[in-house]
Amino acid sequence: MLDQVKFDERGLVTAIAQDAENGEILMLAYMNRESLEATLRTGIMTYWSRSRGKLWVKGETSGHTQQVVEMRIDCDGDALLFKVRQKGGACHTGFRSCFYRRLTPDGLVEDGERVFQAQAVYGTK
């Protein structure tokens, strides 16, 4: 299956996490070959952190893990979709989904579900 994945020039592929039960898009991140192999081996979402330059097991700090239920690959092989069981929030800001802001004529409005306080978990905002 890995030969079907088209990693970009940086060795990354887009990965979308979707709630397996209700279809909500939880987050978008990136994977390299090593993080994809780790995800497939463990069943827990593991990403490549572009900002930290290292593997990142979702929930390693917060405990808010993503258990893989199903993986799909798009027609071009350059995007992956993972249906997951999300424990806690997916977003580091404390919201269930990273897509908690909606554009209105008056600007962006927060309308997502906050499930934890980021400062209590990470010691930051």
The chain-wide mean pLDDT, for the chain, equals 93
Which one-letter amino acid corresponds to residue 101? R
Q: Reply yes or no on whether the pLDDT at 125 is more than 80.
A: no
Neighbours of 34 (CB within 10 A): 13
pLDDT of residue 61: 85
Q: What is the mean pLDDT of residues 99-112?
A: 95
Mind listing the domains of the chain with CATH numbers?
2-122 (3.10.20.810)
Q: Which residue has the tokens 């909500």?
A: 24
pLDDT at 94: 87
Global pTM value: 0.90
Tell me what percent of the residues of the chain surpass a pLDDT of 70.
96
Which DSSP symbol is given to 100? -
Tokens 């700090």 correspond to what residue?
61
Token readout for 111 is 């309308």
Higher per-residue confidence, 106 vs 2: 106
3-class SS at 33?
helix
